Amino acid sequence: MPQALMATYNRLPVSFQRGEGTWLWDSEGKRYLDALSGIAVCGLGHAHPAVSKALCQQAGELIHTSNLYHIPLQEQLGDALTRVAQMERVFFSNSGAEANETAIKLARLYGHRKGIEKPAILVMEGSFHGRTLATLSATGNRKVQAGFEPLVQGFARVPFGDIESVRAVAEHSSNIVAVLVEPIQGEGGINIPPEHYLAQLRAVCDQHQWLLMLDEIQTGMGRSGRMFSYQHSDITPDVMTLAKGLGNGVPIGACLARGDAAEVLGAGSHGSTFGGNPLACAAALAVLETLEQERLPSRAEALGARLLSHFADALSDVAGIEEIRGQGLLIGIELDRPCTELVELALKQGLLINVAAERVVRLLPPLIMTDAEAEQLVEQLSSLLKDFLDS
């Protein structure tokens, strides 16, 4: 079909023409319930009026000027984000991978300033941090790395959720400068660490002057039931990266920092032509304002709890369901077998879902999903799962 495009994606046989809230319509006019939000991006749903209005207005006024000049909207967004996150400074990029690249560069420079010649960052098995060379090297999934060697050096890896292995590394490695970790692993299959994991990581980082760098690209912007996932604990990271939900579909990423970490990147040390341009910042400001005004993080928490309990009821006696887990609107239903076919079966029935790590049905619905839509999701997906596991 699309001969001109590099074959990097196995695309599903559908294209969408229009969206509204939790719904998408394809080119034939068929309607789909969207339980994926463009992979945790459209948290406010499709065509949210506040975002559309901000974009239209800004597009008619000024789209881009470059970071050679002051950008009031970028400063405004920076103030708002750092206030909500209790961070001090922010660098804006255009994607999640770039936000993580910023964090990786920041950590290395921080290490060099401490006199560590070959600084290393501790990363996790099963993690996902992006597709650029440094971020795929940080990613704990061989499939993402295979064929792109030599990988970027300077990463050490431990199992996710295992604080003892982090402490063991701290005992005998002298070149670690930071930990980069997702509070919940999204691409890895909605993996939730043990309860005090982040606090324990914080303690190890404090003890060894490592930076705690949280990749909140998938978990952030209200999705976990708090604006940022670390707010479920009482710790603050040194560095946090955001992207996906930040622009509700307009490409924008951010790397936030506080304390010593906030002062590391200075003039000339990093940059981006597009990063934080007026159009993207206008969209992100509208997103942040809407999330706060409509208390959507709390809505995500309540709706997530409701979905988890209703799925648990609907699937309680179904053989082949290993675990139903989640926090807020990051929900995983793990099966005892590979189930990627489910995505296309659901599509045929007008339902958009995803499968991560081959066996985990991953749901990332928009935060504005109604109770009625949630019921429909539970009914439709549960019957699909029963049929699939029966056959």
Q: How many CB atoms within 10 Å of residue 60?
A: 8
Pick between residue 98 and residue 238 the one whose CB is nearest to ligand PLP.
98
From the list 11-19, 126-134, 193-201, 310-318, the region that binds ligand PLP by CB under 6 A is 126-134
Which pair of tokens denotes residue 348? 């045929």
Task: Name the active-site residue from 128, 155, 228, 311.
Answer: 128
Residue 126 C-beta: closest distance to ligand PLP, Å: 11
- Residue selected from 32, 110, 128, 160 as contacting ligand PLP according to rule CB under 6 A: 128
Residue 100 C-beta: closest distance to ligand PLP, Å: 6
| Closest CB to ligand PLP: residue number | 96
Binding mask 73-112 for ligand PLP (x = CB under 6 A): ----------------------xxx--x------------
Number of residues this chain uses to bind ligand PLP (CB under 6 A): 15
182 interacts with ligand PLP by CB under 6 A: yes
Q: How many residues does the chain have?
A: 391
| 128 is known as an active-site residue | yes
Pairing verdict, β 360-363 and 330-335: antiparallel
| 313 is known as an active-site residue | no
Task: Name the active-site residue from 160, 228, 238, 244.
Answer: 244
Whether the CA torsion 44, 47, 50, 55 is positive or negative: it is: positive
Residue 39 C-beta: closest distance to ligand PLP, Å: 7
Pick between residue 94 and residue 382 the one whose CB is nearest to ligand PLP.
94
155 interacts with ligand PLP by CB under 6 A: no
Task: Name the active-site residue from 215, 228, 238, 311.
Answer: 215
277 interacts with ligand PLP by CB under 6 A: no
Q: Which of residues 192-231 bind ligand PLP (CB under 6 A)?
A: 215, 217-218
Binding mask 225-264 for ligand PLP (x = CB under 6 A): ------------------xx--------------------
Residues that bind ligand PLP (CB under 6 A): 95-97, 100, 128-130, 182, 186-187, 215, 217-218, 243-244
